[in-house]
């Protein structure tokens, strides 16, 4: 009995020390993080190139079941900013679990969705819960400075292997003790593709606007890389830009502000799905939809619906389900003792889609991108999205009248 009491006391003391470290340790980040562009990282670490290429083939191929017997199910704890219009996060879980099942991996999964940018206290509580749960893998994202503080503490504790979703630029300060995997689609590469499209469509001249996501990594990677692409090889002029509150409504308001001062812009560059739909709402309301171009970013269900209806001009379409498949395959290799075959970064494939893309080509890409999470029914998706925006606009208007 004494042994049991002593063991229980030791375990409680261990959890208490972890909790104190997570909640009260001083910030370890004395300076802003340095994000290494993927191409730079691969040139600095040549061995990663071959590992990444071989792993990409594994992701694209049919599943091959796990080759070892598990002693217990792996514990996986997911915290996603999934409360947004973009279906990326929901589809990530769908493709992840479907591939885990195909691989015959036994697992326990706890999934939590939060609002993007606005729920950092909730995210911190959930990360503390993940540590108490002693998750084998914690899947989170990195967009803000606060996120980096959370992640640094988790890396220091070292109980769980960390998978960072929707980021493909390794953090230089963490190189000695990195996350298990960075996974997503290269924001800078996708933004450069969109920059090349708009340069061609505008003959490299004219004014444009930018509507960012909320301040953070996504806005910087997608927004600044796009602007730099245009600066380097065109005469296009950035007339005005706005950050948003990571919502369709705030993007709508920001676009109205741009149009009021700069109605001559040839296009407005949107840094995310919710932003693109908010820009589109404003262009429709002002009667400028057919005069000013707007892009999507990601090519999810709502964006493809708008493309097929001729409302969005272009998007960079991620082969969406690759991200979930990659996480499942990485966990399989790790369980099999083959973690050395998991790359530090996995970045999925892109395709540029426009209003002129043939329907047959788009259906081919959908079959690849959504092979696990389900091919969307575009017309219904767009109608539902428009109805939600109209309801939100009415509510906002009513709130303003009552004040």
> Does residue 358 sit in helix, strand or coil?
coil
Are the C-beta atoms of 328 and 283 separated by less than 8 Å? Answer: no
pLDDT digits (tens, 9 = 90+) for 49-72: 999 999 999 999 999 999 999 999
pLDDT digits (tens, 9 = 90+) for 276-328: 999 999 999 999 999 999 999 999 999 999 999 999 999 999 999 999 999 99
Q: pTM score, two decimals?
A: 0.85
* Tokens found for residue 65: 């079941």
* Unique residue bearing structure tokens 């709502």: 302
pLDDT digits (tens, 9 = 90+) for 191-244: 999 999 999 999 999 999 999 999 999 999 999 999 999 999 999 999 999 999
Distance, in Å, from the CA atom of 44 to the CA atom of 30, rounded to the nearest integer, reads 24
Distance, in Å, from the CA atom of 325 to the CA atom of 317, rounded to the nearest integer, reads 17
Confidence band of 157 (pLDDT split at 50, 70, 90): confident
Most confident of 80-84, 152-156, 284-288: 284-288
- Residue 246 DSSP label: S
Q: If you count them, how many residues does the chain have?
A: 403
Q: What contacts 195, CB < 8 A, 6 or more positions away?
A: 225, 226, 229, 230
Are the C-beta atoms of 241 and 211 separated by less than 8 Å? Answer: yes
Least confidently predicted of 73-87, 294-308, 363-377: 73-87
Q: Which of 294, 277, 380, 330 is closest to 58 using CA atoms? A: 330
CA angle, 387 as apex, 385 and 393 as ends, to 5°? Answer: 105
**304: phi then psi, degrees, rounded to nearest 5:** -65, -35
Distance, in Å, from the CA atom of 88 to the CA atom of 84, rounded to the nearest integer, reads 9
Domains present along the chain, CATH in parentheses: 34-185+321-347 (3.40.50.2300), 188-319+350-383 (3.40.50.2300)
Distance, in Å, from the CA atom of 200 to the CA atom of 186, rounded to the nearest integer, reads 22
Distance, in Å, from the CA atom of 161 to the CA atom of 182, rounded to the nearest integer, reads 11
Are the C-beta atoms of 375 and 366 separated by less than 8 Å? Answer: yes
pLDDT of residue 378: 57
Distance, in Å, from the CA atom of 27 to the CA atom of 173, rounded to the nearest integer, reads 14
Are the C-beta atoms of 307 and 376 separated by less than 8 Å? Answer: no
Distance, in Å, from the CA atom of 395 to the CA atom of 197, rounded to the nearest integer, reads 37
Distance, in Å, from the CA atom of 353 to the CA atom of 26, rounded to the nearest integer, reads 46
* Unique residue bearing structure tokens 């409680």: 12
């Amino acid at each position: 009995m004494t042994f049991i009491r002593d063991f229980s006391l030791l375990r409680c003391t261990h959890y208490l020390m972890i909790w104190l470290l997570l909640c009260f340790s001083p910030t370890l980040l004395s300076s802003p993080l340095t994000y290494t562009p993927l191409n730079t990282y691969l040139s600095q670490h040549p061995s990663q190139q071959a590992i990444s290429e071989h792993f990409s083939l594994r992701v694209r191929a049919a599943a091959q079941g796990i080759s070892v017997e598990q002693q217990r199910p792996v514990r996986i704890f997911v915290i996603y900013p999934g409360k947004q219009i973009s279906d990326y996060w929901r589809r990530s879980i769908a493709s992840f679990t479907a591939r885990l099942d195909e691989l015959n991996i036994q697992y326990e999964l706890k999934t939590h969705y939060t609002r993007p940018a606005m729920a950092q206290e909730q995210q911190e509580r959930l990360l503390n819960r993940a540590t108490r749960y002693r998750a084998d893998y914690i899947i989170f994202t990195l967009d803000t400075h606060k996120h980096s503080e959370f992640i640094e503490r988790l890396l220091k504790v070292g109980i769980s292997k960390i998978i960072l979703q929707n980021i493909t630029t390794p953090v230089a300060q963490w190189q000695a003790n990195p996350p298990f995997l960075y996974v997503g689609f290269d924001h800078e590469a996708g933004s450069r593709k969109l920059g090349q499209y708009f340069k061609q469509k505008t003959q490299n001249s004219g004014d444009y606007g930018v509507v960012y996501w909320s301040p953070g990594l996504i806005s910087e990677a997608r927004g600044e890389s796009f602007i730099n692409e245009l600066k380097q090889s065109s005469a296009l002029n950035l007339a005005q830009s706005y950050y948003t509150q990571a919502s369709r409504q705030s993007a709508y308001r920001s676009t109205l502000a741009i149009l009021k001062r700069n109605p001559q812009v040839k296009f407005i560059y949107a840094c995310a799905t919710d932003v693109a739909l908010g820009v589109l709402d404003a262009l429709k309301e002002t009667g400028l939809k057919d005069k000013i171009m707007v892009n999507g970013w990601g090519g999810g269900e709502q964006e493809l619906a708008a493309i097929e209806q001729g409302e969005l001009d272009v998007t960079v379409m991620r082969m969406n389900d690759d991200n979930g498949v990659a996480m499942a395959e990485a966990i399989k290799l790790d369980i099999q003792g083959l973690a050395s075959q998991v790359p530090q970064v996995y970045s999925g494939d892109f395709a540029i889609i426009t209003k002129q893309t043939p329907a047959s080509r788009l259906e081919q890409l959908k079959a690849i991108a959504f092979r696990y999470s389900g091919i969307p029914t575009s017309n219904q998706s767009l109608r539902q999205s428009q109805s939600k925006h109209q309801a939100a606009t009415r509510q906002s208007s009513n709130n303003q009248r009552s004040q």
